[in-house]
Amino acid sequence: MLETQNVKSLQVGIKHKLMGVDADLRFWGVYPTRNEKACEKGWFCPYLFASARTPQVPRANDFGMACFYGPFLGGDFALTTTALLPSMPSILSFCPSDPRTDIGTNRLLLFFTGISPYRGNMWSTSRRPGCGTLIFHLMDGCPGLVIPVTSNAPICAWSPWTLSEMRAWQASQMMAMCGLSAPAGKTAGPTGYSPEWQHEQICEWLDTIISVPHIEPAIRDRYVEVLGRSVSLVINGALALDKPHIRPLLAKLDPERAGIVAFRY
């Protein structure tokens, strides 16, 4: 398994001419929330807010994936193809990942990242007139996953679980191993997180948008198995960030603003 040795921070700008519009957010895998006061599930909202697209996330429900369908900006595509994709330390590809190669359909890049505001610790500084500006943090131990997708794929999407919740689950498992709580592996973390649950959510969602005819022939017949293993590598890369010798590398990373996202390109 890959292990993070370095963190790359990318300052990106999303140019736009919007004056502030509502974001078309749709939620996949909706179920009643455990805590109506929890706000972690909206951890990636600042990306939309910075580019004058105002998201609204319901407090009454939790979900498997938050999917953004518009308004689309050219910067969304450019961000993926010119900044994020070239900066991926490694890519698990179900099709040619190079955007210059026409495969007859769109692709989706799924990866773990963290985001930070343009200046200080205030997201208002990221919502600059005409250009949303923020910072993406990419870990070299967290691979990206590229799959071909159908026209139903959103512009971008994110899993509601944050690195902070992943760490809380890991802490609960450690306590269980020490006999201080329920048996390890039998319960979710204090916020309901477990790697198995996140893995199931992401895989089932990807299966609704993946374009099977455009998958490489070598893996097309067993893509479900390969997809499951690939998503596991993405999640495990994030879970491995809790190791003591890795934590010092994450000084700029806010665990409450880090998780798994996907961009269409």
Question: pLDDT by residue (tens digit) across 177-198?
Answer: 776 655 544 456 667 899 999 9
Q: Give the length of the chain.
A: 265
Q: Which helix (H) or strand (E) holds 27?
A: strand 25-28
DSSP E strands in the chain: the ranges are 7-15, 21-22, 25-28, 31-32, 53-54, 61-62, 65-68, 91-93, 106-117, 127-128, 131-139, 144-149, 156-162, 258-264
How is residue 234 written in tokens? Answer: 């993405």
**pLDDT confidence of residue 194:** 95
**pLDDT confidence of residue 31:** 95
**pLDDT confidence of residue 180:** 64
**pLDDT confidence of residue 242:** 83
**pLDDT confidence of residue 121:** 85
Query: Mind listing the pLDDT tens digit of every residue in the chain (265 residues)?
Result: 677 888 999 999 999 999 889 999 999 999 999 899 999 999 999 999 999 999 999 999 999 999 999 999 999 999 999 999 999 989 999 999 999 999 999 999 999 999 999 988 899 999 999 999 999 999 999 999 999 999 999 999 999 999 999 999 998 888 877 766 555 444 566 678 999 999 999 999 999 999 999 999 999 999 999 999 999 999 999 999 988 778 788 888 999 999 999 999 9
Quote the pTM value: 0.92
Q: Is residue 74 classed as helix, strand or coil in its secondary structure?
A: helix
**pLDDT confidence of residue 181:** 57
